[in-house]
Amino acid sequence: MIRVRFAPSPTGDLHVGGARTALFNWLYARHLGGTFILRIEDTDGARNTEEAARGILKGLRWLGLDWDEGPDVGGDYGPYFQSQRKHIYDAYFAKLEAAGRVYTEDNGAARFKFSRTAITVHDLVCGDVAFAPTEEPDMTIRRPDGSYIFHFVNVVDDIEMKMTHVFRGEDHLSNTWKHIDLCNALGATPPAYAHIPLILNPDGTKMSKRDEGSAIEKSYMNGGFLPDAVFNYLCLLGWTPRIDGEKLPRETLVALFDPAEIHSSNARFDMAKCSWFNAQYLRELSPGALLAAARPFLDLAGLTITDETTAAAAIFSVKEKVSLLTEIPSWVHYFFREDYPYEPDVMAKLLAKPENQILLKGAATAFAATSEWTEAGAHAAIEDAAKIACVKPGALMPLLRFALSGQSRGPGVATIAHLIGKTATLQRIERTVGML
């Protein structure tokens, strides 16, 4: 039975690299029907915060990376916070002592005696990586204050929690021989390792916390992305599934996942591509689902929803125009309020033509005469008005769109008229006539 884990140190926001490490572990567990464990490596009291731990959990949940054992869900191998596992580390430390593999220095720090043999990491991604017998000084595993250092607790927990595989960032590869040495000294079989290449910025520099697209909450959750889109994009950041196409449902990605296909070279982050995925996923949402996803961003923009169905239809009408949920309010605000702004340059252009007033009045008359207020009815009214004024309907559209929305872009004019209703349509035209 496969057991894998994501073991973040809660020092800050969930980073895109960490999220992808979690994702690959999760994919492997789900692919093989194994167990995905979340373990919080919070032994560094000075750098770890509860807020960061909460943020990491929130980010993982948002991405849909549910864990089978860990914080909030429990499990047979808990607690899942390293800060609560000192008794376990003490017991393993005693084992190493009994095996004659530790000694204490004058200052009270305890060191692990390396075996100083050649150690080969059989890495699922990087292949065999051979380390010659080390010449490094023995490794401190316990500080004078009795607290344990990362390498020790990390290894103990992987043994104690019965991990079969460890997928983690490539930055840990250079220390893996130490982990294997410790495992051996503790009489345990090391897990299989898979070190995942780094994620680089588009310019090839190492991605850091401040770079675009690096923080899950700030860049994606608050940036108007859908979890499914980010999930899909992150899967392909360092892995190419054997299938045509890139936009792939979760089940397919789970079914296809194969660690042997993880790239051994670094991945390049591409925000434009991630946005492209988002646009594709947005287009597939039902009006109700799109409204639910957009709601927090409408709230932020101060737009109040009074009629759910109309609001959903309004947002649905612009779904092809946006890539991110954050873009939606500026495309739909006039559906939610009467005091919408008018684009000044369009206004100036329209003001320059006196006949526009007459055209608008004609349209108002045609709209007023429409008995059945449907999109088709609104459309027929526009055609009638154009015919009477001896212009093409196309000549009337920008003018009407401006009157009804204050914008020069947006969904079809008949769609707008239908959704805002007959009363608002007539009022908005009247108001615009007054301005011209």
The catalytic site residues sit at 209
Do 142 and 152 form a contact (C-beta atoms < 8 A)? Answer: yes
Dihedral of CA atoms 427, 430, 432, 436 in degrees, nearest 10, equals -170
Binding of ligand GLU by 157 (CB under 6 A):
no
Of 4-12, 199-207, 306-314, 398-406, which part binds ligand GLU (CB under 6 A)? 4-12
Distance CA 271, CA 292 (A): 24
Pick one of 58, 113, 162, 172: the residue that binds ligand GLU (CB under 6 A).
172
Q: What share of the chain is helix, strand, coil (3-state, %, to 5)?
A: 50, 10, 35
Binding of ligand GLU by 168 (CB under 6 A):
yes
Residue 184 or 357 having the CB closest to ligand GLU: 184
Residues 357-396 touching ligand GLU, rule: CB under 6 A, are none
The token pair that represents 306 in the structure block: 């009074």
Binding of ligand GLU by 8 (CB under 6 A):
yes
Pick one of 7, 221, 293, 429: the residue that binds ligand GLU (CB under 6 A).
7
Distance CA 297, CA 322 (A): 13
Binding of ligand GLU by 162 (CB under 6 A):
no
Pick one of 15, 27, 28, 41: the residue that binds ligand GLU (CB under 6 A).
41
Least spacing, CB of residue 227 vs ligand GLU, in Å: 22
Do 39 and 247 form a contact (C-beta atoms < 8 A)? Answer: no
Residue 48 or 432 having the CB closest to ligand GLU: 48
Task: Give me Rg for the CA atoms of the chain.
Answer: 30
Per DSSP bridges, beta strands 110-112 and 102-104 are antiparallel
Binding of ligand GLU by 197 (CB under 6 A):
no
Single-letter amino acid, residue 312: A
Distance CA 169, CA 176 (A): 11
Residue 183 or 347 having the CB closest to ligand GLU: 183
Distances (CA, A) of 376 to 213, 243, 342, 371, 415: 43, 43, 26, 12, 9
Of 6-14, 91-99, 121-129, 217-225, which part binds ligand GLU (CB under 6 A)? 6-14
Strand, helix or coil at 28?
A: helix
Distance CA 370, CA 357 (A): 20
Least spacing, CB of residue 169 vs ligand GLU, in Å: 6
Helix axes 375-389, 393-405, angle to 10 degrees: 120
Give me the residues paired with residue 40 across strands.
81
Least spacing, CB of residue 257 vs ligand GLU, in Å: 18
| Residue 426 CB-half CA count within 13 A | 10
Of 5-13, 184-192, 365-373, 377-385, which part binds ligand GLU (CB under 6 A)? 5-13
Pick one of 35, 43, 154, 370: the residue that binds ligand GLU (CB under 6 A).
154
Binding of ligand GLU by 9 (CB under 6 A):
yes
Of 166-174, 186-194, 409-417, 426-434, which part binds ligand GLU (CB under 6 A)? 166-174
Least spacing, CB of residue 176 vs ligand GLU, in Å: 9
Residue 9 or 415 having the CB closest to ligand GLU: 9
- Interface size with ligand GLU, residues (CB under 6 A): 8
Rounded to 5°, the CA angle 225-265-198 comes to 50
H or E, element range at 151? helix 150-160
Residues 307-346 touching ligand GLU, rule: CB under 6 A, are none
Least spacing, CB of residue 42 vs ligand GLU, in Å: 9
State the residues that interact with ligand GLU by CB under 6 A: 7-9, 41, 154, 166, 168, 172
